[in-house]
Structure 1
Amino acid sequence: MKVVVGATHGAGKPAPSQFGLINLLKAGAAQLIVLHHLAFYGPMSDYARVLFPSLIDWLSGSARIAVQVFLVIGGFLAAKSLAPSGHAGYAQPLHAIWRRYAKLAPAFLAATLIAAVASAWAAKWMSHDSISAPATLAQLSAHALLLHGVLGYPSVSAGAWYVAIDFQLYALMVLALWVAGIVEGKRPLAWLMPLSVAFGITLSLLYFNLDSDWDNWAPYFFGSYGLGLMAWWASDPRRKPGIAVLLMMMALLPAVAGLALEFRSRIALAAVVACVLFLFGRTRISADGRAWRAINGMGKISYSVFLIHFPVCLLVNAVFTRFVEPDPLLQAFGMLVAWGFSLAAGAAFHRWVEEPLGRFMDFVAGQLVVRDVHIPRPLPTRSGGVSLR
């Protein structure tokens, strides 16, 4: 796997490089999710459908599987941060789970509160199924704990389920690494984690993912997440090609079996994304050039766009319902306005909410350590044992 080296800037400093493909996938998937919700939740799309019936129908239906891109990338990056070499063991699992919660939950709760206010405001100007009932304290508390789906509370905002599932999957992976490390003891087994993840993918795709009653729980989605985990381990440039292909096949064969049992376009997409990440996911691309700067910027704010777009779209729908004629062209223009405002709001939310909250949570964690309310630091994952190369 070759790494693209960026050009140098004036003072001889190398241009910053990023995982360009990952940012491209995240940026594209985020746009499809915004457009999906714009098409699925009216009333603007209800009027605009007569102009582009096939496009609106596709966006309101099939486009939702773009979330699989985030699931696979989530697994890919989780493997990078938690177990880059694929070895078992994690010294302080609670610390890692807390860090993930602190990264996801504060911005999510802020966006949830904004969505609750937006729903109340939109209800004054229109009556539509997309408007949530007034949020209760118990409902908001369940959202804050990322337990709203598990506890049976309706989501205040579209896409809220994904944040809770991402947290569950990450926590599951951390605990799996920790337990596997205990099982290994002093005799590291280099294949333990890949085999465990391959078994998890198989169980997910052949059982849990076939039953929608599990869709509030991590096992339902672990097939896609596990494909991302295996893609990172298999794409390690230090591995022999035969071992790399074997690791990837351990992930893909359960996916093929699952598709043969019952074809699911979302699983087919997850398998394709995993293969793309296996081949090119580690490639770093220079940030030079307007196109890549834009792509990297969109990838950077994709979580904020995901969080904030629904209340923005809801308010634009309300404004166009209340003040604009129900003309298909005007309502289609309203959809474009909502899309543009969602991106702008995502950039603002990232800068003024997500990043400051992240810094605040880091500060709180640091203060707890200084005052001996100890949040232990994770030790490096085990790198010894039988080689997977």
Structure 2
Amino acid sequence: MTHARQPLVDALKVLAAQCIVWHHLSAYGPLSDALWTQAPALADALYDHARKAVQVFLVVGGFLAAGTLLRATDGRLLRTAVLQRYRRLVPPFLVAMALAAGMATLLHPWLSDDLRLQSATPGTWLAHALLLHDIVEVPAIAAGAWYVAIDFQLYALVAGLAWIATQLAPAPRRNALALALLIGCIAVSLLHVNRHPDLDLWALYFIGSYGLGVLAAQAVRGPRWPWSMAIVAIGAAALAVEWRDRIALSLGVAVLLAGWARPGTPRPASTDPASLAPRSQASGVASKWARGWAARLTAALAAGMATWADRSYALFLTHYSMVLVGNAALARWPMLAAHAWALAAACWGASLLLAWAFERAVERPLARRLR
């Protein structure tokens, strides 16, 4: 993909990250019980529907990974890309897990059993470092740890398909073969594997959504119409076999991305006759002033979205520590139950602040050192 910002992608990442934070606030400990007591319909919606934002991350992840993986024509480049992905994901992940473990230890007297640290042995840390904690049945240190492992599995799987293409096809046909292999995996996933929740430890369970994101990126590069129709056809077939809300959401996000023009693509000059009509000097000045302010507002909004999109991984990694703090505060001061939603909002705000600090002090420096 182009290095230019993708405003739609930024907006999706920001929105999905906030949904995950609120889902976990509605899912863990006595704070979640208090939220359900005061506003059961809203708490139920956050618990049941906000977690589906994971599908947005899956599709966006595939969309962003496509350019690196499917356009590589050398196996060594693919191995390097996978290693770089591990370096991008795991070091900040381990720091965030250490933060969550430290917070759980510090707040242990006030945490309910479902929030207490279950294991902190060297084996626990090794399993997390290798992203095998779910596979070897090691209790996760923090909520959402499973997704980091799945993200890496998905990236490695698509890289593996691209590597197979480099071994079997001449350079001009490698991209086509890699896409064909990927579509086969998408079909197997959506038509069979994704219908069996006990297989959700593996990339093949999620490759349907991730792969739709890759195909959306292919549509953006063109030809747009055939690839968009392919996405719709694959998604419709999967939903016809068995309706799944999460797959319907993945399909919607993929179609949205496939139909979104690349940021920075110049628009043709207007041929609207009204735009060619002479204007008075006053109306021209007013119109220019309005366009200027609209452009500034749009640029400011896009810049804000880009900033928080860059912090979405930090927010995803660190917000669980603030979920622990909120639940410990409620256990320590039970009168806060009457203000559970205000407490949850405070935890959300604190999570945003922590993500800002984590991205600046941990994630960004680690990325520079491990590049």
Q: TM-score, normalised by structure 1?
A: 0.82
Inter-partner Cα distance in structure 1 for 2:264 and 2:250? 22
337, 349, 357: which one pairs with 1:348?
A: 357
For the pair 1:302 / 2:331, whether they are aligned, the reply is: no
Structure 1 unaligned spans of 5+: 4-15, 363-389
Q: Where does residue 251 of structure 2 map in the other structure? A: 271
Q: Where does residue 65 of structure 2 map in the other structure? A: 78
Inter-partner Cα distance in structure 2 for 1:162 and 1:151? 15
* 1:187-266 paired onto structure 2 within 5 Å: 188=173, 191-236=176-221, 239=222, 243-266=223-246
Inter-partner Cα distance in structure 1 for 2:31 and 2:264? 40
Q: CA deviation at 1:107?
A: 0.1
Q: CA deviation at 1:227?
A: 0.2
* Higher mean C-alpha displacement, 318-327 vs 287-296: 287-296
1, 18, 21: which one pairs with 1:34?
A: 21
Inter-partner Cα distance in structure 2 for 1:73 and 1:182? 28
Q: Deviations over 1:257-304 (max 9, x none)?
A: 211111111100000000111111632498864332222211110000
* Higher mean C-alpha displacement, 313-322 vs 334-343: 313-322
Q: Deviations over 1:311-341 (max 9, x none)?
A: 121112202220241533x222110110000
Root-mean-square deviation (Å): 2.2
Fraction of identical pairs, as percent: 39
Structure 2 unaligned spans of 5+: 266-294
Q: Which segments of structure 1 move beyond 6 Å, counting only runs of 4 or more?
A: none
For the pair 1:172 / 2:157, whether they are aligned, the reply is: yes
Q: Where does residue 133 of structure 1 map in the other structure? A: 118
Aligned CA distance change for structure 1 residues 280 and 222 (closer, same or farther; 3 Å): same
136, 143, 152: which one pairs with 2:137?
A: 152
Q: Deviations over 1:165-208 (max 9, x none)?
A: 11011111111111111110466365322222211111001111
More helix by share: 2
SS in 2 for 1:304: helix
For the pair 1:335 / 2:344, whether they are aligned, the reply is: yes
For the 8 Å contact 2:319–2:355, the answer to whether it is kept is yes
What code does the residue aligned with 2:340 have? Q
* Higher mean C-alpha displacement, 38-47 vs 118-127: 118-127
Pairs aligned (count): 340
Q: More relative contact order in 1 or in 2 (CA 8 Å, sep 6+)?
A: 1
Q: TM-score, normalised by structure 2?
A: 0.86
For the pair 1:93 / 2:102, whether they are aligned, the reply is: no
